[in-house]
Structure 1
């Protein structure tokens, strides 16, 4: 059981901090709200909402605190755990057409009771040892599968992404701040194959293309949409404002703040 200082709890492996979901996880929001975008669809979570975040999806999160707090319960279902569960409880997996990054779960008596059973732990009144942690994860998984049988097609699909059109994918997802290894994986390629095919399509390295593409989008947003640099740099995949300002000025000879002010 892992805690932060906001009365939240996390069962299972830690979630990646980058804009990529490496493992399925269950999320229950206690306090605050969250807006997410996966490049195709916007999602909003409010206190009391339950959802499943699906692995192998690119997602950006914006968290909004309530009374300076953002409290949640996160329970990860990593592949090792799921395969062990499947050995004990066999399920027949079928294809699924739903490609949403978040699947919202309706509250019922079992899920509500499960969350209530965790209250002593996320309130800091008790500690949960590692062995019991997996028991609680299994309990939740059985509840979810009982109430939503089609989730078996999500949880127990261990296929890796198939090879897809590289040019279409990158032009649609260049704003996500993930590693080249993640982009390669998402397009169904090894890193070396990804780099080779990328250069043949775009006539430059992936790293250089990503910077150029993000800067072009930034220029448009600053010049035509009158956005502020502070409002766009994170959404365009830049980790900090100073680096964004540096590379933007190097490329265009003007700082993004000055360009933004000149068009208001």
Structure 2
């Protein structure tokens, strides 16, 4: 699957990407684990449908009652239609330059940041609904007018969320300009319990699959496929032994396409079937 460079794909080839940009995304087909290189921080105001995003060390899922503020970088997007067979999301992209200008103007927090999570969930409310309506009318105006108004609308939104969420939102904003990269080991071990494929984990590490395998073997002295399978089967065994979830309810979560393959791998690893592990 090709990598989508967002928001660049929404512009003409020679068109310069502005510091602030709004795009209304409408779809009539589900998109599952699309590889995205997000070059700007982004508000994702989900209005119809469901969205899940996998990052290097975590994932998040929201519905139309929630919106997301996403940190720029590589991620995997899953966007699912609603019962109305449509997906609709208003995307508001902003550059690091605009973020730093806002922080300098309205906050005094210059201490080292400790927040590492790459997203913030925003609860949709009457203000957000009214705000999105105001954004929807802007495309009809002149380019200069829209650019100037977007600057005002960006500050308006940020100030509202700063007032609503306080220190939590301020700390998150500072985390967006923390460029400390995640290590391969950290990313791999945070995805043991996910159902991501090796290629997808490599993408989250900003590596090709071959480069990822080479670095993995150097780090763990074992192939990534075997290492992940062993770790995931061990986790599956622990869950089954708790007696709350059946094999048929967990095999997808551990990267297996069907229960039969999961059962064969499980028995080869432990010498007994997953049904026998379930208490």
Q: Which TM-score applies when normalising by structure 1?
A: 0.56
Q: Which has the higher strand share?
A: 2
The 5 A counterparts of 1:39-58 are 45=62, 47-56=64-73
Shift of 1:115: 1.1
Aligned in 2, Cα 1:224/1:63: closer, same or farther, shift over 3 Å? Answer: farther
The 5 A counterparts of 1:113-262 are 113-117=130-134, 141-148=154-161, 150=170, 152-155=173-176, 157=177, 159-161=179-181, 163=183, 166=185, 170-176=188-194, 177=196, 179-182=200-203, 184-185=205-206, 195=213, 198-222=216-240, 224-225=242-243, 227-236=245-254, 238=255, 241-242=257-258, 245-246=260-261, 248-250=263-265, 252-253=267-268, 259-260=274-275
Contact 1:23/1:55, CA 8 A, preserved across alignment:
yes
Partner Cα distance (2:240, 2:261) in 1 = 15
Shift of 1:218: 2.7
Structure 2 residue aligned with 1:75: 91
- Report the 3-state secondary structure (helix = DSSP H, G, I; strand = E; otherwise coil) of the residue aligned with 2:261: helix
Of the three residues 91, 101, 115, the one matched with 1:98 is 115
Partner Cα distance (1:39, 1:225) in 2 = 30
Of the three residues 26, 32, 40, the one matched with 1:3 is 26
Partner Cα distance (1:191, 1:109) in 2 = 45
The unaligned stretches of length 5 or more in structure 1 are 7-13, 122-126
Partner Cα distance (1:54, 1:61) in 2 = 16
Shift of 1:113: 2.8
Moved more, 194-203 or 205-214: 194-203
The unaligned stretches of length 5 or more in structure 2 are 1-23, 163-169
Shift of 1:204: 0.5
**RMSD over aligned Cα, in angstroms?**
5.3
Partner Cα distance (2:65, 2:201) in 1 = 36
Of the three residues 47, 56, 73, the one matched with 1:30 is 47
- Report the 3-state secondary structure (helix = DSSP H, G, I; strand = E; otherwise coil) of the residue aligned with 1:73: strand
- Report the 3-state secondary structure (helix = DSSP H, G, I; strand = E; otherwise coil) of the residue aligned with 1:233: helix
How many residues were matched structurally? 234
- Report the 3-state secondary structure (helix = DSSP H, G, I; strand = E; otherwise coil) of the residue aligned with 2:235: helix
Q: Which TM-score applies when normalising by structure 2?
A: 0.54
